[in-house]
Amino acid sequence: MSGDRPILEVRGLHKSFGHLEVLKGIDLAVRKGELVFVIGPSGSGKSTLLRCCNRLEEPSSGSILVEGVDVMAPGTNINAVRRRIGMVFQSFNLYPHLDALGNVSLALRKVVGQSRAEAELAGQAALERVGLAEKANSFPNELSGGQQQRVAIARALALQPAILLFDEPTSALDPELVGSVLAVMRELRESGMTMVVVSHEMRFARSAADRVIFMDHGLIVEQGTPEKLFNAPDHQRIKDFIASIEH
Amino acid sequence: MEQLVHNFFNFEILSQAWPLLLAGFWMTVKLTLVVVPLGLAGGLVVALASTSRRRLVRWLVVIYVDFFRAFPPLVLLMFIAFGLPFLGFDPGAFIAVALSFLLNTSSYYGEIFRAGIESITRGQHEAARSTGLSVPQTMVYVVLPQAVKNVVPDLVSNTLEVIKLTSLASVVALPELLYAARQAQSLTYNATPIIAAGIIYLVCLWPLVRLLSRFEHRQIALH
Amino acid sequence: MQLERLADTFFNLQVMQQYLPKIVEGFFITIQIALAVVLAGIASGLLLALVRAFRIKALNFFIILCVDILRALPPLVLIIGFYFALPAIGIRMSAWVATWLALSLVLMAFAEEIFWAGILAVPKGQWEAARSTGLSFVQTLTDVVMPQAVRLTIPPLTNRTIAITKGTALGAVVAVGEILYQAQTAYSFSYNPSPLVLGAVAYLILFIPVVYFGRWVETRFAWKR
């Protein structure tokens, strides 16, 4: 870790829904510019882990630091922290009553406090980064699934976050649309964006991830380079899981 | 036939009664312009309160809504118009009507807005919150615009009912259209003013009825 | 002291006791009119919707016209028209009948619209499948389409019916002896608002269960766009 602070630091994270313990003590540090891939069977707690990082789910115990700021501390302005943590959802969750530019610029105006002109300039730039500059005035229902997800990425990107969280960003997409979204993510990685990705896109993980984390039953079972995890994992269940996915 | 024309469509009577009817019509318009926005605003407050995190607040809202939905509007109006003076406060007919309508219609509008708010998926809230919007900001900029759009047919339908309900004001002697018509009838001993009032309601409200009928068919067809 | 006066004004036991029998009488008249309105209104609305399904142009135009007029007119205007205007051309009816007829017609109009929308909502494939097995038009309508349509219509119809039965209070305007009329008369005799309180309580006893029934129906037949 060579002295500089991780962007995201999770320590001893527990999360229960009623009697069901979904996260049973997660420790995780993500360095600047790193792309961390989280895999594991459904119900293993991957999505909950992401959603705890910006407190869409309230952690039961443990601590989460983003750029050194304790997300859980009583004095922390969670809305200010959330600006620094972008999130991309499986079901896009674009605002259907706003066009692409409106979707991207809303938080710039209301959270950052930019004027409409400033926000739209920044929003347009974000749309350009995901290759959709010409769709600025299209409404979500006029866009394909892949385009919608790219607008959602632009919405997160426009706030200039320190880290981007992806929660199964391609699972709701038709196979032929997946590529365009992955291409945007690859480009983000090359530009040095810090990312945590929950996904089943193993080929993308192999080629793009710095580190792969395998989760099961609310715990990190093993983590390492893609080569290590995909080719020679220490645990048999990882082999079984990867075999079951790659068919 | 001649009897029908003489008693129902008597132009001489109509021309006598016209100033009265016109004044009544404007009172109905004025009443509508007060009562509908008031009900919409009250309904919005009721709906927002029903999303409160405090259980007590949600509970109070349910009681409020059910209580005023169970009362026939005319009963509420009479209660306020005749009961309040005993508390040492005579509101006058207009205020009594406005107050009873606020209590009644805000319950109905409130239920409609609430249904609209509940129709917005959790993902919309989460997406907005993930970009740093606060809870009130999320409500105002993301949830409400979609919620209202989803319930426009129900809002229009309820508004039509509210406009028709303004005729109840005649019972507490507020000189709106129906009251004016009855007054004109008793002055002229002829039913033409009542028929005329009916026709005025019809002409004004028919477009709304047509619009609603189209909404309703689409709504059930989508189901 | 203040509170005592308030209780004496609004909850005057002596006055309440005196007029309670009248309010109870009104209570049953309200139920009577309400039931008669529900039966007549829904039955005639269903009938009109079925007739409309035959798609006879002239007839349908007439049905739509009637329904539109009844939806645009305030029920109170109808009641007053029936009771105060119709006698001028020799048609006389009691206040009870005027109230019942006006509310039944209004419910009929709404019920027809709702049933008709329900019929339209049943996919065309259902008609085609039924006809392809040799069912007649009428058989298809009654045995295949209506059972599906009625299910869709239950929640909106319930809500509308509840709203219209509350209109029985309008009968007070033409002196039908239902709850509100009894309460109002007692109020003007005694010049004390306690009978109004009693009347309000009677309405709550009658309609709170109905409102809850409506809520139950709404969740039971989840009616979502």
Q: Where are the domains of chain C?
A: 24-221
pLDDT tens digits, one per residue of B151-200: 999 999 999 999 999 999 999 989 999 999 999 998 988 999 999 999 99
Could you read off the pLDDT of C29-70 as tens digits, one per residue? 999 999 999 999 999 999 999 999 999 999 999 999 999 999
A44 — phi, psi (to 5°)? -85, -10
Residues shown for chain B? 223
Mean local confidence (pLDDT), B120-129: 95
Position C27 confidence tier, pLDDT thresholds 50, 70, 90: very high
What average pLDDT does this structure show over B121-125?
94
Give the pLDDT confidence of C168-184 residue by residue, as tens digits: 999 999 989 899 999 99
Residue C225 pLDDT level (bands cut at 50, 70, 90): very low
Residues of B in contact with C163 (CB under 8 A): 161
Q: CA C147 → CA A184, B110, C129, C153, distances in Å? A: 52, 32, 15, 10
Residue A2 pLDDT > 70? no
DSSP tag of B81: I
pLDDT tens for each residue of A154-174: 999 999 999 999 999 999 999
Q: What is the distance between the alpha carbons of residues B30 and B86, in angstroms, rounded to a whole number?
A: 28
Exposed, middle or buried: residue C153 (CB in 10 Å: 0-12, 13-18, 19+)?
Answer: buried
pLDDT number for residue B221:
59
Percentage of chain B beyond pLDDT 90 is: 74
pLDDT band at B220 (very low <50, low <70, confident <90, very high): low
Q: Which of B127, B133, B141 sits opposite A89 (nearest CB)?
A: B127
> Mean pLDDT of all residues in chain B?
91
What domain count does chain B have?
1
- Give me the mean pLDDT over the B81-104 stretch: 90
Partner-chain residue, chosen from C85, C152, C187, that has the shortest CB–CB distance to B223: C152
Asked if residues B18 and B180 have their Cβ atoms less than 8 Å apart, the reply is no
DSSP 8-state assignment for residue A140:
G
Which chain B residues touch C37 with a CB distance below 8 Å? none
| pLDDT at residue A190, rounded to an integer | 94
Calculate the alpha carbon distances from A84 to A118, B7, C69, C133 in Å. Answer: 19, 77, 59, 64
Confidence tier at A247 by pLDDT (50, 70, 90): low
Among B28, B78, B158, the residue to mutate for chain C (most C Cβ within 10 A): B78
Please determine, for residue A60, whether its predicted confidence score (pLDDT) is greater than 90.
yes
Q: Report pLDDT for C223.
A: 47
* Mean pLDDT for all residues in chain C: 89
Tell me the mean pLDDT in the region C98-120. 94
Token duo for residue B213:
């009928």
Angstrom distance (rounded) from CA A197 to CA A136 = 26
Rounded mean pLDDT, B97-121: 94
* CATH class of the domain whose range is C24-221: mainly alpha
Q: How confident is the model at residue C135 (pLDDT cuts 50, 70, 90)?
A: confident
Q: Give the whole-angstrom CA distance, residue A185 versus residue C92.
A: 80
Flag whether pLDDT at A209 surpasses 80: yes
Nearest to B177 by CA among B196, B156, B150, B151: B196
Q: How confident is the model at residue C1 (pLDDT cuts 50, 70, 90)?
A: low
For residue range B8-64, list pLDDT tens digits in order.
Answer: 888 888 899 999 999 999 999 999 999 999 999 999 999 999 999 899 999 999 999
pLDDT tens string C10-23: 888 888 888 899 99
Domain coverage including residue B20: 2-222
In the predicted structure, residue B107 carries a pLDDT above the cut 80: yes
DSSP state of A43: T
- Name the residue in chain B with its Cα closest to that of A110: B133
H or E element at residue A11 = strand A8-17
Q: Would you give the DSSP letter of residue A65?
A: E
- Rounded mean pLDDT, A36-61: 93
Q: Which of A52, A54, A97, A160 to mutate to test the interface with B (most CBs of B within 10 A)?
A: A97
- Inter-residue contact B65 to B110 (CB < 8 Å): yes
The minimal CB distance from C113 to the residues B70, B165, B216 is found for B216
C-beta atoms of A111 and B149 within 8 A: no
- pLDDT confidence of residue C129: 86
Angle, helices A100-107/A116-129, rounded to nearest 10 degrees: 120
Q: Give the rounded percent of residues in chain C with a pLDDT score beyond 90.
A: 52
Give the integer Cα–Cα distance in Å for B135 and B53.
11
Of the partner residues A56, A79, A107, the one whose CB lies closest to the CB of residue B126: A56
Q: How many CB atoms lie within 10 A of CB A117?
A: 9
Q: Is A69 on the interface with B (CB under 8 A)?
A: no
- Report which residue type is found at B203: V
What does the radius of gyration of chain C's CA atoms come to, in whole angstroms?
22
Taking residue A19's Cβ as centre, other Cβ atoms within 10 Å add up to 5
Reported as a pLDDT band with limits 50, 70 and 90, residue A244 is confident
CATH code of the domain covering residue B66:
1.10.3720.10
Residue contact B129–A56, C-beta within 8 A: yes
Q: Do chains C and A touch (3 or more CB pairs under 8 A)?
A: no
